[in-house]
Chains A and B, each alone.
Chain A
Amino acid sequence: MGSNVSSVHDVPSSVENKNGLVVEIESRRQWRSVFDSMKVSNKLVHIYKLVIDFTAAWCGPCKAMEPRVKEIVSRYPEAVFARVDVDKLMDVAGTYRANTLPAFVFMKRGEEIDRVVGAKPDELQN
């Protein structure tokens, strides 16, 4: 992807492709902009690989796997990891049936292509 990402006008700065970082989705508006920008093909920013990381404040297993998730995130700089708290964004969690956590939903151009449920760091790699 490279380094020219920062000068994009449409996409909020929190959605820029920051290498190896997980974007915390705080609001429905932020979620919509992340999701919509995935579908937009843009020469400068093309967030077609989005990984939604469903988590919750109460999720011990999510925390158990955090160090390993961070490791993997840094290995895939071209993907955006969007962390969604299922209690804060219940309807997004509902749309993706995120009842068992942690759940990682792999999106390409707005479509779900795969998902990994449960803290299974090895499976995430594949």
Chain B
Amino acid sequence: MAVSGFEGFEKRLELRFFNDSITNNNPMGLRLIDFESLDQVLNEVQCTVVSAVANHSFDAYVLSESSLFVYPTKIIIKTCGTTQLLKSIRPLIHLARNVNLTLRACRYSRGSFIFPNSQPFPYTSFEDEVVIVEESLPKSFRYRKASVMTPSNSNPSRAWHVFTASADVEPDETLVVVEVCMTELDRVNARSFFRRKGDEGNSDSAGKEMTRLSGIDMINANAFICDFAFDPCGYSMNGVDGDRYSTIHVTPEDGFSYASFECGLSLYDGGHGDIAEVLARAIDVFRPDCLSIATTYNGEDYDHEVTKRVERVLAKKLGLKCRSRLMDEFPGSGTVVYQSFTPRRK
């Protein structure tokens, strides 16, 4: 491990709003927030938009340090490096109020930083982060929970941190969110994410090349991919498929290599492919020596069979053994399952 380098592990913030002001005549909700205002919030978080795409369901922005998704009643921001993500909560709640939307639930989550000492306050301690989030939320949110899910046997200890707060005890979200964090990427695979010498193309065609060469375009062949290649290395993409989002971010440098894959999907919609197969394809792009999967089953009834199937498929197709499995329940946000894997040979 390098002494210091770019922090790939992201901080993720999800804000969900009541949908009572969403009607057939006025379906846009948060998407009505003008872009200039969003840009200002991102400036405070210390990131900017590098590429963007929209369809009938949502807006997807690739940022200099990760991604932003805007749905009518949901915003997801995921940022890496040393960004000040939590500074966005208050301004976003304010902007939402301007378009008549009231906050319903908030979820903040992250893994364990590779370089924890390089993070600014409050990201040096999860307790401090929770205090900051709570200060930004309405006092009326009665259902709050903070949890650090720590596998007993992992080395280095990679815990999953979650804080949720909501106005209702019942989860309102129907999609399942899967967050995969991978480190110690296969060196050969990671090379795809370096810009080539004498690369005449601009960032966008370089991004397309990386998407194609790495096989990322095959994870979900239906998705439109908005990709971006950073200089001299690094890659980000947002995938758009109907109302489903996906996102991948890669820090390929040896010593602190990292890749994340996240998607929102429904377990029971066969048309979008089996979750275990999708995960296997995504992980196969990077062949990491260490990975974790955090799955949030929101409104969906938790199905243990799915958890076991993911473990079976990853073992069979990628030789990855599940070393730990933790579960926790969050009022208003559903069940979170946190699995850690390393290759069987270890």
Contact = CB atoms under 8 A, between A and B. Distances in A.
B65 interface: no
A99 B55 contact: yes
Interface string A42-67: 00000000000000101111111100
Nearest to A99: B55
Contacts of A120: 51, 204, 226
Contacts of A100: 53-55, 224, 240
A120 B93 CA distance: 29
A117 B240 CA distance: 12
Interface in B207-236: 224, 226
A119 interface: yes
Interface of A is mostly: mixed
Contact of A65 (B31, B32, B52): B52
B265 interface: no
A126 B52 contact: no
Interface string B52-72: 111110011100000000100
B49 interface: yes
A119 B59 CA distance: 11
Interface residues of A, number: 21
B140 interface: no
Given A60-B38, A64-B39, A64-B61, A119 B51 contact: yes
A64 B49 contact: yes
A90 to B, nearest CB: 12
Q: How large is the interface on B (under 10, 10 to 19, 20 to 34, 35 or more residues)?
A: 20 to 34
A99 B36 CA distance: 23
A122 interface: yes
Interface string A99-126: 1111000000000000001111011011
A117 B31 CA distance: 19
B51 A60 contact: no
B342 to A, nearest CB: 36
B121 interface: no
B166 to A, nearest CB: 26
Contacts of B60: 61
18 contacts: A58-B31, A58-B54, A60-B35, A60-B61, A61-B52, A61-B54, A63-B34, A65-B52, A99-B55, A100-B55, A101-B53, A101-B55, A102-B54, A118-B224, A122-B202, A122-B203, A123-B202, A123-B204
